[in-house]
Amino acid sequence: MPSSEAPRRPAAPHTPLPPLGFLLLAGLTLFWGANWPAMKIALAELPVWWFRAGCLWFGGLGLILIARLTGQSLRVPSFERRPLLLCAVFNVVGWHLCSGYGVSLMPAGRAAIIAFTMPVWASLLASLVLDEAITKGKLLGLALGMSGLAVLIGPDLVALGTAPLGALFMLMAALSWATGTVLLKRFHWSVPTTVLVGWQLVAGAIPVSLGAVLLQAPPELASLSREALLAVAYIFLFPMVFCQWAFFQTVRLFPAAIAAIGTLAIPVVGVYSSAVILGERVGWLEFIALLLICSALASVLLPGARRSAPSA
C-alpha cells in the first residue's frame, strides 16, 4: 500500500562561500584596522577636505589605472551611471568627509569602534530596501550597538567635552557607508568591481575637491613631518586602493548581510593599533564598548553567514 505522505525533497546543498572572499576580508581587517591611527597622524597636519580630496583622486585613478592595465573596459553603461553617482554620494562623499572630521575630533580607536557599527545599520536598511527579514538577531544587534555607543559617548556628554561632536560625525559616517553598501547591493552592475569602485571614488573626488578649494587654504606640503608623509603614503596605497577594491568585491561575492563580516575584527585592530602607535589609552569603557559592538555585529552577521549562499 503506498504511503499517504508526500516524499520529502532532499535538502538543497549549501553553496560554499568563495575562499577569495575570506582572503580579502583578512586583508581588510589588517589594513583598515591600522588605517585609523594613520588617519589621526595625517589629519593632525592636513585639512580634512584637502586630505580627503587627495585620498579620493589617488584611490580612484589608481584603481582605474589597474583596470586599464589588466585589460578591463572603463566604460560604464548609461543606465548604470545614475546609480553609480548615487552610491558615490553615500559610499564616498558622506563616508570620507564625516569620518575625516570624526577622527580629527576624537581618539582614533574610539572612532574605529563607532565606524564599524556600519553592518548593524546596513542589516536594518537591507530589511527596508532589499526586503530582507527583520530578525531577532538584528533587533538584538541594534540594542547592543546602541548600548556600545552610549558607553563611549555618555561620559563625554556629561562633561560637555568635544568627543560627542566627533562621535556624531562618526555615526553619520557609519550610516552613510551603510546606505551606500545597501544601494550597491540593490542595483545590478555589469562593470567589473575595480572599474565600479574607481569611478565612484573619482565621482566623489570632484565635489570634495571643490569644497577644499572653497572652504580651506591649501596645505603646505613641504612642511609635513616624516610621520605624516608615511601615514599619507600608507593610506593612499592600502586603504584607498586595496581596501576600497576588496570591500566592494566582498559585497559582490557575499550576501548583503555578511558582506561586512570581516568588520568583526577591524575595530579591535583599530583600537589596539591606535594604542600602540599613538599611545591612546584603552580603558574599561573602550573594552566594554568594543565587546558590546562586536557582540552586536556577531548577532547580525554570524547567523546569516551560516545560512546564506553567496549571490552572483
Q: What string of DSSP letters covers 144-195?
A: HHHHHHHHHHHHHHHHT-SHHHHHHHHHHHHHHHHHHHHHHHHS---S-HHH
pLDDT at residue 98 tops 70: yes
Q: Going by C-beta distance under 8 Å and a sequence separation of 6 or more, which residues neighbour residue 81?
A: none
Q: In the Cβ-directed half-sphere of 69, how many Cα atoms lie within 13 Å?
A: 6
Give pLDDT tens digits for 287-306: 777 677 677 766 765 554 44
pLDDT value of residue 134: 67
Closest by Cα among 2, 8, 43 to 225: 43
Cα torsion 194, 254, 88, 177: sign: negative
Q: What value does the mean pLDDT take over residues 258-286?
A: 75
Global pTM reads 0.80
pLDDT value of residue 301: 58
Q: How many CB atoms lie within 10 A of CB 60?
A: 25
pLDDT value of residue 257: 54
CA distance 94 to 5: 57
Percent of the chain with pLDDT over 70: 76
pLDDT category of residue 311 using cuts at 50, 70 and 90:
very low
